[in-house]
Chains A and B, each alone.
Chain A
Amino acid sequence: MTDATTDTAPAEFKMPNFLDACTAWHQAAEKMQSFNRLTTTDAKIGQTPKELVWTLNKAKLYRYVPVVPEKDRKPVPLLMVFAIMNRPHVLDLRPGHSFVEYMLREGYDLYLMDWGEPGPEDAKLKFDDYVLDYLPRAIRKFKSVSGAKEFSILGWCLGALISTLYASLRPDDGLKNLILLTAPLDFSDKTAGGFTRWTSNAAFNPDLIVEKLGNVPGEMIDSGAKMLKPIENYLGSYLMLWDNIDNPKTVEAWHAMNTWVRDIIPMAGGAYQQLINEFYKENRLMEDSLVIRGEQVHLSHLKANLLNVIAEADHITPPCQSERVMELVGSQDKEVFRVRGGHIGIMAGRGAEKTTWPHIESWLAARSS
């Protein structure tokens, strides 16, 4: 046995007897079986009860069942707008670790915009459609159901981009508070982040992708995102699971996150083309030259109170892509909140319920009366 006082002593080789060998192999086989189950099956995610209040094409608007009596609820409801190329379940990952649960407990009337999975018939959908057809209609219904004249929006990733465009184009629609999470808005730095570098290269042709494939396959988007950090995503994540397979808490968290990561959906071809050409390559939003269905988007028209949450270690939306918007918006009440963590980790990671969620909640609570 290794002496307890010699911490740095090298591992000692002990020739195991037959029984030890059998036990070790049995344990390894069990570990392998668990590993296989966890990497190939789905955990139950997005379990907080909700009701469908509106649908249009694939888009759905849900209202989460409130857990706080009506008299104690915040009067300004909150609409969560997630990205268009992922499922929104990451906001409600698992019981006991869910942003949705947290906000319901704090007394918010909570709604979720789920864009759904685009089919071949949606290949021409653009941001114009999401911003001026889908979102305003969902908001109309949301206001009608909640009975509120004012509301808040929390947009994450491309959902934040859509929310920003909406808030700039429809500043008088009743939007009181806007929370942007890891919002990709400013693409002036062509060397910031892998996506910007790849898409700004002349060899990358989004028009050809859309022409040949219609919608951009989820696998293509997923592998692109994973290739930003290939070792961590293709190897590190699984090794972490293997090392911690006997720790139920870590396993549960990993399984839930992996279920969300595996559930990939395509992105509407038109929106993809627009994202690469008009945002990544030409940076039209920041240049004040973006036109959405004939209407020019001016960030200065955005008047809502603004909380801009930036993930300092974000490799998908590097911080510089979310920073400059603060100088251009017309909001009087605006704040940047920087969080240590990555694109998803700041909201779904272990530290989220101690840092990001309370800050968002307290900022919103102060402006939801």
Chain B
Amino acid sequence: MSQNNNETFNPFDPSAMFKDVRNAGMDAMAKTMVELVNTDAYAEATGAMLDAWLTSSGPFRKTLEQSMTQTLANLNLPTRDEVTRLAERMTNLEMRLDDIDAKLDDCLRALQSFSSPGKSKSSEGRKK
């Protein structure tokens, strides 16, 4: 770029040293890489690598989980599965609460429409 050429070359600026070379090669490199990752060969290779990693690390992960579960059980501490199940139950409870909240909103709206006929107000005041 002409702008760069106007500047005096500074050997102490590490970025300036390869800026022109970089700018020239960058677009071509970017285009090549985009083309590369958009090939079926790349898709197949990454899929196979991911598959191999997941399959090979499986037994190790399973052994680790088993020993951790055993250790936690010996220490009278809840395991990951138990905490997960508890969290799931919490979410179910939250949903039930949300249902009750919805019904309360309906009741409040109905009460408001009774108390001021013709005016159906929203339950603006009932914010969480």
Contacts and interface: CB of A to CB of B under 8 A. Distances in A.
Nearest to B14: A28
A194 interface: yes
A205 interface: yes
Nearest to B41: A201
B30 A236 contact: yes
Contacts of A31: 15
A25 B12 CA distance: 6
B116 interface: no
B38 to A, nearest CB: 6
Contacts of B5: 2, 7-11
Contact of B91 (A57, A146, A239): A57
Contact of B54 (A147, A194, A212): A212
A12 B58 CA distance: 60
A230 interface: yes
B4 A229 contact: no
Contacts of A133: 95
A144 B38 contact: no
B37 A230 contact: yes
Interface stretch (A13-21, A159-167, A251-259, A297-305): A13-21
A20 B61 CA distance: 57
A24 B15 contact: no
Given A12-B9, A242-B15, A198 B87 contact: no
Contact of B9 (A14, A141, A230): A14
Given A28-B12, A144-B126, A147-B122, A201 B44 contact: yes
A203 B33 contact: no
A144 B30 contact: no
Nearest to B92: A57
Contact of B40 (A201, A205, A239): A201
Given A11-B9, A203-B44, A227-B37, A56 B98 contact: yes
Contact of B2 (A8, A228, A243): A8
Interface stretch (A47-55, A177-185, A360-368): A47-55
A140 interface: yes
Nearest to A197: B43
A291 interface: no
A11 B128 contact: no
Contacts of B84: 119-121
Interface in B43-84: 43-48, 50-51, 54-55, 57-58, 61, 80, 83-84
A145 interface: yes
Contacts of B124: 145, 147
A205 B51 contact: yes
Given A54-B128, A147-B122, A203 B43 contact: yes
Contacts of A28: 12-14
B50 A11 contact: no
Contact of A144 (B15, B22, B29, B105): B105
B26 A204 contact: no
Nearest to A13: B9
Contact of B123 (A11, A144, A201): A144
A12 B10 CA distance: 9
Interface string B15-43: 10001001000100110011001111011
Contacts of B87: 119-121
Contacts of A11: 4-5, 7-9
Nearest to A234: B33
Given A147-B124, A201-B40, A231-B30, 19 more contacts: A2-B7, A11-B4, A11-B8, A12-B8, A20-B12, A53-B127, A56-B98, A57-B90, A120-B87, A121-B84, A147-B121, A201-B44, A202-B47, A203-B44, A204-B43, A212-B57, A231-B34, A232-B30, A243-B19
Interface of A: 1-2, 4, 7-14, 16, 20-21, 24-25, 27-28, 31, 51-57, 119-122, 133, 137, 140-141, 144-148, 194, 197-198, 200-205, 208-209, 212-213, 227-232, 235-236, 239, 242-243, 315
23 contacts: A11-B9, A14-B8, A24-B10, A24-B12, A28-B14, A137-B95, A140-B105, A144-B122, A145-B124, A145-B127, A203-B46, A203-B47, A203-B48, A204-B43, A204-B46, A204-B50, A213-B54, A229-B34, A230-B37, A231-B26, A231-B33, A235-B26, A239-B22
Interface of B: 2, 4-15, 19, 22, 26, 29-30, 33-34, 37-40, 42-48, 50-51, 54-55, 57-58, 61, 80, 83-85, 87-88, 90-91, 94-95, 98, 101-102, 105, 121-124, 126-128
